[in-house]
Amino acid sequence: MSLRSLAVRTTNFTVDQACVEIIAGARAIRVLQINYISFAATVQQIGLGRPAAIGVTPTSPVTFLSLASGDSTSAAKAALAWVTSPTAPAAFMKRANLPATAATAFEWTFGDGGVLVPAGGSLVLWNIAISVASDVSILVND
């Protein structure tokens, strides 16, 4: 397994939709950490969960980058838009409520084992309520 990281700026601000999907490819990955920084002074509610159905045909999935080498064979990708969006999680593993202050941040860490995303599965950061452009950095082991 290899440590990999990716930073993205969210582009989907629609309430009750995914803003980031963390996608496992042909092999399972483990999400170790998620950092989230609000770009604007707007109240936000964000959740993390397993979608009831994964996104279909991500429009521009980005491969996670190796922290140890230039290896680009990661099983992990992230998507910000889809032909068919992921559907809402039945329940959230984590939730965060951010105040109307620009650059408000939170960090979720998941210990040594991380959150398992099985091969072909995904996790979503979900716009529970109001959302704005935000910078999201994700650390995975794949």
102 vs 115, which has greater pLDDT? 115
79 pairs with which residues across the strands? 21
Q: What are phi and psi of 13, to 5 degrees?
A: -110, 10
Domains of the chain: 3-141 (2.60.120)
pLDDT tens digits, 38-70: 988 888 999 999 999 999 999 889 999 888 876
Q: Kindly report the pTM of this predicted structure.
A: 0.93
Higher pLDDT, 120 or 68: 120
Q: How far apart are the two ends of the chain, measured CA to CA in Å?
A: 5
- Considering only CA atoms, which of 72, 36, 47 is closest in space to residue 125? 47
If we measure between CA atoms, which residue out of 114, 111, 105 comes closest to residue 136?
105
Contacts of 69 (CB under 8 A, 6+ apart): none
Taking the C-alpha atoms of residue 36 and residue 136, their distance in angstroms, rounded to an integer, is: 5
What's the pLDDT at 79? 96
72 pLDDT more than 80: no
* pLDDT (0 to 100) of residue 60: 86
Both tokens of 35, joined, read 């950092």
Query: DSSP character for 87?
Result: P
